[in-house]
Amino acid sequence: MSNEPEIIPSSAAGQAEESSESTTLRMIGWFSIGLAVAALGIYAGAELRSRYKFKKRTPYDFYSNAGKKAISEYGVGV
């Protein structure tokens, strides 16, 4: 073995940089696609749930105080 440094052709060095850059861009692309799919899934799930709840209404849901429990003040004493 010689002590002289090995000269790497410029085309090989350029390929290594392009390879790492394309890998990074590909990873960023897949990550953003995944985020978009997750956001669409959350939106679609919320929309389906609201439509389901709308169809399951009862006649009592039309009153303004439906579902509210009265606040009792028993035991306050005067």
| Residue 49 scores a pLDDT above 70 | yes
User: Domain spans of the chain?
Assistant: 14-61
pLDDT of residue 32: 97
pLDDT of residue 25: 93
* 64 CB neighbour count, 10 Å cutoff: 5
DSSP 78: -
Using CA atoms in the order 10, 13, 14, 18, what is the torsion angle rounded to 10 degrees? 170
- In the Cβ-directed half-sphere of 29, how many Cα atoms lie within 13 Å? 6
Q: Output the six-digit token pair for 3.
A: 């002590």
* Residue among 41, 59, 58 nearest 49 (CA): 41
pLDDT of residue 43: 97
Q: Does the reported pTM lie above 0.75?
A: no
